[in-house]
């Protein structure tokens, strides 16, 4: 016993030394860890972004296009985002976001240590759900400055940035930046853009269930998209609502009601499909002047010349006109088939379906099933059937004789129901195209532009880029040259009779469309009936060089060789040139350069450019009025007499080319000029009798019904005609010829 107690102090000393060594070792290890951590911080902070840059934070935003009344018609953006302030984010949305993403947001200093340890613990244990440790501030730092890769270095940088952000900014500022930055699927960024896209409302107007759905999409805008995965979106939304209930943000009654509510979407597709060819021309101009980054990132406001209502009328008129042409020429078949292309019917998605589907629109649809009595059709989220009556016009008695599963058909939407049901009419898209351009006479503002029948299939703008022979729509330049330079008058007599012309390439013997001749007729009648021989005689008398000089004055810049057949429209000109040129006639001889853009401002409202009408005198006011009165006769009694049914002051000229490859009508009222072209992209015939009056004029009339509404009292100014004896422009004996019929010509 004595021995035992004598050894006890020695053991205590040894134990004390051991503890001291352990403590010392731990201190050394801690110092090493701290040093290593400090080293890591130094290494990872070397290239760390400057948080101070956030003091001028403004994420990329949408460049918006507006029509002449301030209505949005399109946008350009890499990320579709609408920036808002903290006050624009409702309390219900703030509560939803904080409950599902960061419950301690209002209390922590950028990071949540307990959450980090919890996430680390879960990551170590197999078969446990992984859980993120990022606070809202850490997510913001990652979204703004870092990549999405999951590495230690990125996590350290994210943490350091979050701490700096918390030191520099208030919670409200951090939350606002976060809500403007996050991704919500379908190219939408930020809660304001999300509310507009999914519900067609502002964020401040969101209901509890809508706010919860958007907050639930923060985890993944694709996986929880209510459009792509409605079941997942519903489950995630209800999880958010449960979290809000647990946090005391809502009552049990509110939670029960919100979870029972179905997901009601009112998807608001950006209106870029309203005037896509016009918007594309504007984009090219803006990028050339300001650069691609400023156009797509800096949120410009572009105030254009377009009129949304007239644009809708123009689009519908072209679609209806081309559809009418297709029906006149029967069913050609040649349908694309999804199955034949090696695609799955269940996964097929046509580009048309990404745009707004409305009553009256023309869509590509997919055949899901076919029987003798009906074909099941799908387009977008709508389903319908085609019966025997729907295919009767094709010459077939049942859908089974015409269609097979997987076919892509072209239909017109006749009605849409709330239960995804619809009614459609079978149409055909064999390749015929149409284009329309409308210009305000006084300002030069382009009010409507249609460059084809389907922008998704072809972005080529047939209104501005297609060079096509214009046929007799060129003749007004010939008559203008005769009136303005040679003193011709509308009631002068000219002989419409067989004749030949000596040209540099030999003898040229033209004829009229109907192969008949009318003898002595007035210039007014010759233009109204589009007689070829009188136009050629006038062109020869004043000289083709003079005719071309006048066409140039009107703004026609396309190549015009000085050959006599050009007087009948053998040259190729764009619809843009023709329409702008014709606007000179109702404008008393003044040509106004077409204008796309009125004003451009930057994000802060500073005016970058403001455009005013550019005018140029082309011909005298009286010459313009004389020509207008002569083209008025075209509408009243000539080749475009059908347009007289509109009972308005209208004038214009038809045009048809060899083999009926191009059909034109360019016409105007005192306030607006509209040009229409129809044809195929490849130069092939539209078919017999498909003249300007038959194919293009109905489209023009449909549009002008909308364009002249509200202008009932307008009228053309009458010209001053000096008293003079009736003279003959071509003094030849009148042969014994029977007058021909009032039909359209082809330029030979």
Instruction: Tell me: do 409 and 547 sit in the same domain.
Output: no
- Residues 353, 464, single domain; the answer is no
| Dist CA 716 CA 69 (whole Å) | 27
Cα 207 to the center of its chain, rounded Å = 31
CATH code of the domain covering residue 506: 3.40.710.10
Residue-wise pLDDT for 10-64, tens only, equals 556 566 666 667 667 777 676 665 555 555 544 444 455 565 556 666 666 788 8
In a domain, 283, yes or no: no
**How much is the pTM?**
0.80
- Percent of the chain whose predicted confidence (pLDDT) is above 90: 64
688, 691, 693, 697 alpha-carbon torsion, rounded to 10°:
110
pLDDT of residue 724: 60
Q: What size, in residues, is the chain?
A: 748
Q: Of residues 60, 99, 101, 629, which has the active-site annotation?
A: 101
Query: Are 343 and 395 members of one domain?
Result: yes
What pLDDT score was predicted for residue 151? 55
Give yes or no: residues 495 and 644 share one domain. Answer: yes
Q: What's the pLDDT at 7? A: 55
The domain of 401 spans 330-429
Query: What whole-number distance in Å separates Cα of residue 551 and Cα of residue 536?
Result: 16
Other CB atoms within a 10 A radius of the CB of residue 40 amount to: 13
Query: What pLDDT score was predicted for residue 8?
Result: 53
- How many separate domains does the chain show? 3
Q: Are residues 542 and 466 in the same domain?
A: yes
| Judgement on whether residues 552 and 643 belong to the same structural domain of the protein | yes
User: Is the same domain home to 420 and 452?
Assistant: no
- pLDDT of 125 > 90? The answer is no
Position 1 scores a pLDDT of 47
pLDDT of 609: 96
Each residue's pLDDT tens digit, 323-366: 999 999 999 988 999 999 999 998 888 888 877 788 999 999 99
Compute the distance between CA of residue 204 and CA of residue 89 in angstroms, rounded to an integer. Answer: 6
Regarding whether 489 and 406 lie in a shared domain, the answer is no
End residue of a domain, out of 122, 139, 168: 168
Sheet with strand 301-304: strands edge to edge: 72-76, 63-66, 301-304, 597-601, 607-610
Structural domain includes residue 343 = yes
> pLDDT per residue over 67-114, tens digit each?
999 998 988 877 788 888 999 999 999 999 999 988 888 888 777 666
> Residue 559: inside a domain, yes or no?
yes
pLDDT reading at 296 higher than 90? no
**pLDDT value at residue 286:** 95
Q: How far is CA 579 from CA 13, 432, 575, 576, 732, in A?
A: 107, 21, 6, 5, 36
pLDDT tens column, 547-562: 999 999 999 999 999 9
pLDDT recorded at residue 228 = 80
The residue with tokens 């572009």 is 302
Give residue-wise pLDDT tens across range 404-427: 999 999 999 999 988 788 999 999
* Amino acid 740: pLDDT: 34
> What CATH number does the domain containing 405 carry?
2.40.50.140
The whole-chain average pLDDT of the chain stands at 86
Long-range contacts of 268-271 (CB under 8 A, 24+ apart): 268/196, 268/197, 268/198, 268/199, 268/200, 269/197, 269/354, 269/355, 269/356, 270/74, 270/75, 270/80, 271/72, 271/73, 271/74, 271/75, 271/356
- 508, 400: one domain: no
501 within domain boundaries:
yes
The mean per-residue pLDDT over the stretch 632-651 comes to: 97
Whether 5 has a pLDDT exceeding 50, the answer reads no
Which pLDDT score is estimated for 741?
Answer: 32
Which of 401, 429, 457 is the last residue before a domain boundary? 429
Q: What are phi and psi of 330, to 5 degrees?
A: 75, 170
- How far is residue 90's CA from residue 94's CA, in Å, rounded to a whole number? 6
Q: Which of 654, 645, 651, 594 is nearest to 628 (CA)?
A: 651
Element (H, E) at 494: strand 493-496
pLDDT at position 2, please?
A: 47
In a domain, 145, yes or no: yes
Q: Among 41-45, 65-69, 435-439, 527-531, name the one with the lowest average pLDDT.
A: 41-45
Based on the domain organization, do 417 and 484 belong to the same domain? no
415 and 446 together in one domain: no
Domain boundary among 374, 402, 429: 429
472 is catalytic: yes
Provide the 3-class DSSP secondary structure of residue 12.
helix
In a domain, 25, yes or no: yes
Distinct helix (H) and strand (E) counts, the chain: 21, 25
pLDDT at 117: 53
238 assigned to some structural domain = no
More confident of the two residues 223 and 17:
223
Catalytic-role residue among 61, 75, 141, 472: 472
Considering the domain architecture, whether residues 451 and 507 belong to the same structural domain is answered as yes
pLDDT-derived band at 636, boundaries 50, 70, 90 = very high
| Placement of tokens 């340890």 in the chain | 117
* CA-based nearest residue to 654, from 672, 627, 671, 631: 631
pLDDT category at 149 given cuts 50, 70, 90 is low
Q: What is the pLDDT of residue 359?
A: 92
Residue 446 domain flag: yes
The per-residue pLDDT for 310 is: 98
Mean pLDDT throughout 138-157? Answer: 66
């Amino acid at each position: 016993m004595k021995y035992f107690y004598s050894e006890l102090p020695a053991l205590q000393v040894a134990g004390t030394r051991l503890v001291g060594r352990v403590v010392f070792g731990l201190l050394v290890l801690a110092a090493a860890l701290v040093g290593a951590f400090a080293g890591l911080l130094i290494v990872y902070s070397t290239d760390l972004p400057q948080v101070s840059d956030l003091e001028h934070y403004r994420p990329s935003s949408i460049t918006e296009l507006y029509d002449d009344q301030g209505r949005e018609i399109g946008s350009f953006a890499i990320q579709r985002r609408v920036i808002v302030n903290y006050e624009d984010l409702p309390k219900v949305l703030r509560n939803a976001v904080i409950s599902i993403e960061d419950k301690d947001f209002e209390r922590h200093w950028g990071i949540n240590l307990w959450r980090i340890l919890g996430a680390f613990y879960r990551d170590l244990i197999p078969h446990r759900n992984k859980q993120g440790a990022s606070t809202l501030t850490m997510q913001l730092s990652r979204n703004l400055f870092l990549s999405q890769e999951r590495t230690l270095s990125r996590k350290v940088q994210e943490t350091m940035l979050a701490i700096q952000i918390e030191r520099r900014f208030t919670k409200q500022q951090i939350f606002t930046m976060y809500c403007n930055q996050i991704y919500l699927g379908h190219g939408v960024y930020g809660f304001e853009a999300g509310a507009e896209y999914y519900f067609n409302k502002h964020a401040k107007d969101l209901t509890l269930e809508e706010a919860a759905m958007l907050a639930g999409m923060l985890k993944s805008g694709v996986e929880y998209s209510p459009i792509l995965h409605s079941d997942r979106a519903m489950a995630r939304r209800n999880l958010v609502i449960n979290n809000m209930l647990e946090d005391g943000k809502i009552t049990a009654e509110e939670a029960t009601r919100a979870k029972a509510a179905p997901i009601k979407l009112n998807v608001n597709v950006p209106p870029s499909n309203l005037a896509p060819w016009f918007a594309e021309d504007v984009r090219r101009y803006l990028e050339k002047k300001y650069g691609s980054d400023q156009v797509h990132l800096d949120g410009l406001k572009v105030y254009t010349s377009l009129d949304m209502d007239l644009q809708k009328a123009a689009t519908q008129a072209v679609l209806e006109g081309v559809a009418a042409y297709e029906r006149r020429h029967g069913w050609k078949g040649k349908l694309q088939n999804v199955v034949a292309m090696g695609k799955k019917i269940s996964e097929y998605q046509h580009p048309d379906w990404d745009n707004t589907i409305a009553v009256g629109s023309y869509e590509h649809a997919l055949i899901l099933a076919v029987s003798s009595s009906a074909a099941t059709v799908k387009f977008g989220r709508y389903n319908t059937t085609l019966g025997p009556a729907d295919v009767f016009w094709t010459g077939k008695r049942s859908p089974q004789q015409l269609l097979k599963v997987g076919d892509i058909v072209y239909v017109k939407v006749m009605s849409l129901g709330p239960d995804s049901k619809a009614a459609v009419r079978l149409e055909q898209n064999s390749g015929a195209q149409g284009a329309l351009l409308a210009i305000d006479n006084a300002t030069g503002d382009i009010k409507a532009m249609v460059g084809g029948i389907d922008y998704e299939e072809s972005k080529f703008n047939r209104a501005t880029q297609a060079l096509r022979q214009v046929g007799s729509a060129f003749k007004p330049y010939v008559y203008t040259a005769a009136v303005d330079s040679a003193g011709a008058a509308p009631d002068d007599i000219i002989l419409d009779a067989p004749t030949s012309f000596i040209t540099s390439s030999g003898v040229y013997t033209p004829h009229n469309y109907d192969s008949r001749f009318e003898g002595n007729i007035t210039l007014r009648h010759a233009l109204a009936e589009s007689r070829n021989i009188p136009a050629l005689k006038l062109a020869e008398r004043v000289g083709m060089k003079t005719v071309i000089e006048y066409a140039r004055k009107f703004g026609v810049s396309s190549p015009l060789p000085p050959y006599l057949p050009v007087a009948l429209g053998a040259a190729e000109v764009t619809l843009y040139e023709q329409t702008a040129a014709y606007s000179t006639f109702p404008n008393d001889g003044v040509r106004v350069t077409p204008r796309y853009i009125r004003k451009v401002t930057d994000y802060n409202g500073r005016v970058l450019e403001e455009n005013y009408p550019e005018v140029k005198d082309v011909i005298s006011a009286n010459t313009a009025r004389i020509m207008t009165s002569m083209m008025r006769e075209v509408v009243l009694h000539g080749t475009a007499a059908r347009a007289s049914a509109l009972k308005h002051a209208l004038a214009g000229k038809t045009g048809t080319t060899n083999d009926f490859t191009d059909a034109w009508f360019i016409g105007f009222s005192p306030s607006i000029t509209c040009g229409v072209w129809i044809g195929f992209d490849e130069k092939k015939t539209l078919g017999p009798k498909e003249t300007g009056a038959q194919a293009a004029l109905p489209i023009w009339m449909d549009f002008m019904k909308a364009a002249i509404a509200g202008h009932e009292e307008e009228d053309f100014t009458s010209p001053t005609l000096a008293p003079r004896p009736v003279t003959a422009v071509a003094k030849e004996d009148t042969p014994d010829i029977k007058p021909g019929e009032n039909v359209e010509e082809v330029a030979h």
